Homo-oligomer: A and B are copies of this chain.
Amino acid sequence: MTKRGMETILITGGNGFTGRHACRYFASQGYHVVSVVRRIGEEDHGVQLERCELTNAIETSNLIQRLKPSYVLHLAGQSNADESWIHPVRYMESNVMATVFLLEAIRKHAPSCKVVVTGTILQYPVKENSLPPHPYSLSKTLQIFASKSWASYYDLDLVIAKPTNLIGPGPSTGVCSILAKRVAEFEKTGVNDILTHMDLEAERVFLDVRDAVSAYHELFFMGEKGREYDVSFGTTASIGDVATILSSMAALPFDVPEEKRKGIPLQPANGSQELKSTCTFTLEESLRDTLQYFRNL
């Protein structure tokens, strides 16, 4: 039930890594949060849970018709590039068609709803004579192209958020989470495979997922219809830097080869110039919370 006077935000993929943080954040901001999930599990963040298979056009249409949300944050989708080579159709269905079904339902049943669709930095610049590097990237590229087209054809109040590598506590499969999980296991078992198959010199821009969620909130109000916005403020660091920070927090010592560290202080990344949102979590704070999440699992 919608509480009196509260605006409804519908968050797809509400039990995913970003979704869990988004549900908590928007609830704390006074919204009535509806978390849309494929299967209702044990998690409950004090929000309304709705089961919906978004790859089913009718289920999605019924959901939007019934709830008529004022805001939709579309986070749901598949995001594993390796897996996408094996199951490319699943990626087209989950990332492209589910988004099309959602936007079509919004056009019909909630046409003044504000929408943020989340792309990714792995989304490919769309060009003639060049193709995305894998089916996951293809699916994100087509998702965003179709979203922008729907926004243009049907005058939807929609913007695209293109986040960088999001980090923080929760069920992420990103490199920081893999490292933090290995450190937590090392603390429990003494088995050190922390740096196995890690490209320590590779640099990334890391942004705390909680700061990304604040930026999505901002985009509902400042975004220009149909445009893409980089959500890429954060901290530039190498995987070696991340490992070095985690080693300083670990209960058992482990070594990171000195030549693999780029060195601290780390560089703040250039974000979108239009966004006012900034980092409120340092990389160290994000990694401490991530490590603690895996220690508590």
A interface list, Cβ under 8 A from B: 57, 85, 88-89, 92-93, 96-97, 100-101, 104, 125-128, 131-132, 134-135, 138, 141-142, 145-146, 148-150, 152-153
Contacts and interface: CB of A to CB of B under 8 A. Distances in A.
Contacts of A57: 89
A128 B127 contact: yes
A153 B135 contact: yes
A97 B92 CA distance: 8
A205 to B, nearest CB: 21
Nearest to A105: B89
B97 A153 contact: no
Contact of A153 (B88, B127, B128): B88
Query: Chain A interface mostly helix, strand, loop or mixed?
Result: helix
Nearest to A104: B89
Given A138-B145, A142-B145, A142-B146, 16 more contacts: A57-B89, A85-B153, A88-B104, A89-B104, A92-B146, A93-B97, A126-B127, A126-B145, A127-B128, A131-B145, A131-B149, A132-B149, A134-B153, A135-B149, A138-B146, A142-B142
Q: Which 5 A-B pairs have the closest CB atoms?
A: A138-B149, A131-B149, A89-B104, A126-B126, A92-B100
A153 to B, nearest CB: 6
Contacts of A127: 126-128
14 contacts: A85-B153, A88-B100, A96-B96, A96-B142, A126-B127, A131-B145, A131-B148, A131-B149, A131-B152, A132-B149, A134-B153, A135-B153, A138-B146, A142-B142
A73 to B, nearest CB: 22
A282 to B, nearest CB: 34
Contacts of A85: 153
Nearest to A87: B104
A132 B126 CA distance: 13
Contacts of A100: 88-89, 92
Contacts of A132: 149
Contacts of A150: 88
Contacts of A149: 131-132, 135, 138
A247 to B, nearest CB: 39
Contacts of A88: 100, 104, 150, 153
A15 to B, nearest CB: 26
A291 to B, nearest CB: 37
A21 to B, nearest CB: 30
A135 B152 CA distance: 10
A153 B126 CA distance: 17
A148 B132 CA distance: 10
A225 to B, nearest CB: 13
